[in-house]
Amino acid sequence: MPRHGRWRAQSAGLPGDRAWRYGRRAAGGRRGDQPVTAPFDVAIIGAGPAGMAAAVMARKQGLSCVVFDEAGRPGGQIYRAVTERPERDRQDILGPDYYAGLDLVEAFQRSGAEHRAGTMVWSIAEGEIHWRSRSGSGVTFARRIVAAAGAMERPFPLRGWTLPGVMTAGAAQILLKSAGLVEDDIVFVGCGPLLYLVAAQYCRAGHPPRLIIETTPRGNLGAALPHLPRALLAARYLFKGLGLIRELRAAGVRIERGVEQVELEGEDAIRGARWRIGGRWQRADTGRVALHQGVVPNVNLAMALRCRHLWDERQRCWRPALDEWNRSSQPWLWIAGDEAGIAGAVSARLSGALAALDIARDLGAIDERERNRAGTPLRAALGRDRAVRPFLETLYRPSDAFVVPQADDVIICRCEEVTRSEIARVVKEGAAGPNQAKGFLRCGMGPCQGRMCGHTVTETMSALSGKGQEEIGYFRQRMPIKPITTGEIAAAAPFDGEGA
């Protein structure tokens, strides 16, 4: 083994046997049919606000950096397609907060970080990333890794949610951002700031929604008010929310509040929506429905890496346990942005930069004093930006009735078509958590790998058993974290220890 390879491995802080293997790989070469590339200081998964900010900061500290992202262009879901078609009407529709991401994208493109667009990461281990793109598959080695895979919308399991014509509010916004498409006569159902934002954007595009069915529990506002004084440190978010409501009222959008139950009707497609307020049912015809009740961290990657996770009761979701610099329980992995806990685009950028500073300190590019000096204003800005979170999280905390399905025939796992009644049966038979339920029912074993049902299974088993969510747990995730063919996995077989 070349001497420089062993030195680089040891400088990365990798233990004994792994350092030897890392050193062998550092020289480059091929593994079967796969290219093996020279190591980077930092590999980042995701080119959203957190991933881009981490890359920019890493490059400023002199670290080599590679960023993997499944999208064709940087921006993530929040800044999706921000570099495309910046016409005046598009700016008016999507708003200044969306276009605030343009400066970050341009800084990322100038930073010198290597951007692997259109590349899916399907497996990660200490020091290595397995990926697939249209041009093939490969393995890239890095001394430290930042996971910035973002968030996903919380599942909204109710009767009819699997019908054609039903989507999430985030999907409706993706259509608007990426293709300039809107759905006519759409009904929005749920709660949370994004619901009002997308509805207002539809109004600006000249296609106001037919109706908003607001499922926020009536008692949430009273519970949120004690958090209001601190929320005023980030008052712009409050003014923005009030402005969205004013826009909807000015556009004549009907909003039904205090909704206790919702059902979607149809057989081969969505035909209508029913909702109950105070025991009285109402109905509206519609061929399009957008569901939303907040977003949750995309935890499958960190779960598969056996990172320690906590149940966040206020956000009703799992999130990774991190230190103040976003380092996880795996010492070589940092988690930034909404994957670390829902806080929005500004906080995601700040957390990505803080993670990169800590990695630079960890690798010896800067010392602890330099890290702390550079991080102090970022941490102060992060505290101000997150000041509004307790208020928003309490105000828009979804009710039990919409997080846990109430009817036995409601599908929980869409991939395997597992219903609430089937979950109830295995709980009654003694299943202790999602992994036991998976063995009986295959829930969580479909193409989405539990992303669309994981939180619902935890919440449902908790409600049925009387145990806390943390005691119930989550699906035990394993690599690969994304669907991949057995041929591609075979091509990524480990080294035999003889040559590269």
Same domain, 273 and 310: no
CA separation for the pair 2, 465 (Å, rounded): 58
Same domain, 436 and 411: yes
Same domain, 225 and 346: no
For range 48-68, the mean pLDDT:
97
Domain final residue, candidates 293, 318, 350? 293
* Residue 374 falls inside a structural domain: no
CA 288, 293, 294, 295: dihedral to nearest 10 degrees? -70
Same domain, 236 and 287: yes
pTM: 0.89
pLDDT band of residue 36 (cuts 50, 70, 90) is low
Same domain, 159 and 261: yes
pLDDT at 18: 44
Identify the burial level of 207 via C-beta atoms within 10 angstroms of its C-beta, where 0-12 means exposed, 13-18 middle and 19 or more buried. Answer: middle
Same domain, 285 and 159: yes
Using the predicted structure, report yes or no on whether residue 15 has a pLDDT greater than 70.
no
* Residue 490 falls inside a structural domain: no
Domain final residue, candidates 336, 366, 396? 366
CATH number of the domain within which 249 lies: 3.50.50.60
pLDDT band of residue 82 (cuts 50, 70, 90) is confident
pLDDT tens digits for 232-248?
Answer: 999 999 999 999 999 99
Work out the mean pLDDT of the chain and round it to a whole number.
Answer: 89
Which DSSP symbol is given to 198? Answer: H
Same domain, 257 and 331: no
pLDDT tens digits for 121-163?
Answer: 999 999 999 999 988 888 999 999 999 999 999 999 999 999 9
* Residue 22 falls inside a structural domain: no
Same domain, 140 and 47: yes
* Residue 480 falls inside a structural domain: no
* Residue 143 falls inside a structural domain: yes
Residues 6+ apart with CB under 8 A from 389: 342, 343
pLDDT tens digits for 293-338?
Answer: 999 999 999 999 999 999 999 999 999 999 999 999 999 999 999 9
Domain final residue, candidates 270, 293, 316? 293
pLDDT at 95: 87
pLDDT at 433: 94
Same domain, 85 and 110: yes
* 22-50 b/e (C-beta count within 10 Å ≥ 16 → b): bbbbbbeeebeebebbebbbbbbbbbbbb
* Residue 375 falls inside a structural domain: no
The boundaries of the domain holding residue 55 are: 32-152+297-366
CA separation for the pair 47, 337 (Å, rounded): 11
Same domain, 72 and 199: no
* Residue 433 falls inside a structural domain: yes
Highest mean pLDDT among 123-137, 412-426, 475-489: 412-426
pLDDT at 315: 92
Count of domains observed in the chain? 3
DSSP 283-336: EEE-S-EEEEE-EEE--HHHHHTT--EEEETTTTEEEE---TT-B-SSTTEEE-
Closest by CA position to 423, among listed 467, 389, 465: 465
Same domain, 224 and 129: no
pLDDT at 88: 63
Residue type for position 3: R
* Residue 91 falls inside a structural domain: yes
CA separation for the pair 10, 7 (Å, rounded): 5
Same domain, 288 and 303: no
Using the predicted structure, report yes or no on whether residue 83 has a pLDDT greater than 50.
yes
CATH number of the domain within which 465 lies: 1.10.10.1100
